[in-house]
Amino acid sequence: MIEIDAFLYDTIRPVTWHDNGLRLLDQRQLPEQEVYLYINSTQALHEAIKNMLVRGAPAIGIAAAYGAVLAAKEASADDSMPFTEGFHHRLELLASSRPTAVNLFNALKAAKQVSDPVNNLLSWANSWFEADIIANKKMSLQAAQYLKGQVNVLTHCNAGALATGGYGTALGVIKTGVQLGLIGQIYAGETRPWNQGARLTLWEFQQDNIPVSLVADSAAASLMNKGLIDWVIVGADSICMNGDIANKIGTYSLAVLAKHHGVKFMVVAPTTTFDLNAASADDIIVEQRSTDEILPTAYKQDSISALNPAFDLTPAELISVIVTEKGVIESPDASKIQALINQH
Ligand code: MRU
């Protein structure tokens, strides 16, 4: 595996614990303003995840890990019910904030298993946070073997530092590729309706002076047709046991287009994004967000409606490679995923 002494582009930390609470970079306000807010209750964190102040599967998982610290504090000060009942009740509140990113549920499940939670949860949450950044860097080095020459890449949504503890999954691969001189042009899809690509991915690359070209989501087919893309590189909100994935709406379209044009398709996600309970994409709950996010106010009337699924499902057969911190799976299927999970 390729090794590097220091990662040049590791500058952003969207979720960090401080004495005065959980500090979140308010991603709704980027790129106009860089505002940090402090969260001190499970109710406030529930709202912050639901309203996408913090977003991206691994970052939501990390926020939930620290949320468990808040849950334990609140439960120990709550005389109305036994500690364990109050603690679990608050973890359930956090679990109900968004349904698709499995990192949220994996973090909360792991938090429940920590013994003596009041005393031990903070150091456990710190390890969860640090492990995520280490995983991202490891994945980026493993993925580098697939970037041959000056590779042109297209990414979707924001799977960067902003969506993780730091450095990023898909964007981590691209950043390491840039550092190693392996990347030609980077294209970022806008990612309507929330514009994570236009607002967040561009901001993130701007922090490190990495050149990037914004493209409308609907430009992907013609870019591929012109031979301008070698790899599509994305993150995931959930990886099923057969290699199907859930990711931001529009990912599936890109995977279909990539297959048609002979473009390679890479999914980069830590093993905290595996859903051990999902045999295939049929088992994934796709979040439906408010139609207010897409329907112009002028059309708020009974005869006009909208659909706003936040994610879509990409079958394993459209994925060239899944990169995790435990190893890389080419042409993923159930037996390869199981073998990866079984290894320690
Ligand atoms: O709705 P969001 O912004 O939380 O969706 C984020 C994505 O879909 C990301 O691609 C995914 O979580 C991977 S982030 C490393």
Domains of the chain with bracketed CATH: 5-135 (1.20.120.420), 138-341 (3.40.50.10470)
Cβ of residue 204 lying under 6 Å from some atom of ligand 1: no
- Roughly how many angstroms between the first and final C-alpha of the chain, as a whole number? 19
Cβ of residue 332 lying under 6 Å from some atom of ligand 1: no
Q: Which of 15, 132, 158, 290 to mutate to test the pocket of ligand 1 (most atoms within 8 A of CB)?
A: 158
23 burial (CB, 10 Å; 0-12 / 13-18 / 19+) is: middle
User: pLDDT over 70 for what percent of the chain?
Assistant: 100
**For position 240, what pLDDT does the model report?**
98
**If you measure from the C-alpha of residue 83 to the centroid of ligand 1, how many angstroms do you get, rounded to a whole number?**
33
**For position 344, what pLDDT does the model report?**
67
What burial letters (b/e) apply to 215-253, b meaning 16+ CB within 10 Å? Answer: bebebbeebbeeebbbbbbbbbbbbbbbbbbbbbbbbbb
- Sequence-distant (6+) residues with CB within 8 A of 145 are 1, 2
**For position 201, what pLDDT does the model report?**
99
Cβ of residue 323 lying under 6 Å from some atom of ligand 1: no
**If you measure from the C-alpha of residue 159 to the centroid of ligand 1, how many angstroms do you get, rounded to a whole number?**
6
pLDDT digits (tens, 9 = 90+) for 179-216: 999 999 999 999 999 999 999 999 999 999 999 999 99
**For position 160, what pLDDT does the model report?**
98
**Which residues are tagged catalytic?**
237
Global confidence as pTM: 0.98
Cβ of residue 263 lying under 6 Å from some atom of ligand 1: no
**Residue ranges in the chain modelled with pLDDT below 70:** 344
pLDDT digits (tens, 9 = 90+) for 142-159: 999 999 989 999 999 999
Bond into 211 cis (ω within 30):
no
For every residue of 239-279, DSSP letters joined together read: E-TTS-EEEETTHHHHHHHHHHHT-EEEEE--GGGB-TT-S
**If you measure from the C-alpha of residue 89 to the centroid of ligand 1, how many angstroms do you get, rounded to a whole number?**
26
Residue 81 phi/psi, 5-degree rounding, is -155, 160
Atom nearest to 164 CA in ligand 1: 15
**For position 300, what pLDDT does the model report?**
83
3-state class (DSSP) for residue 284 = coil
**For position 321, what pLDDT does the model report?**
98
Cβ of residue 56 lying under 6 Å from some atom of ligand 1: yes
Cβ of residue 58 lying under 6 Å from some atom of ligand 1: yes
Tokens of 64: 């939930």
pLDDT digits (tens, 9 = 90+) for 259-294: 999 999 999 999 999 999 999 999 999 999 999 999
CA–CA dist 342, 344 (Å, integer): 6
Atom nearest to 287 CA in ligand 1: 1
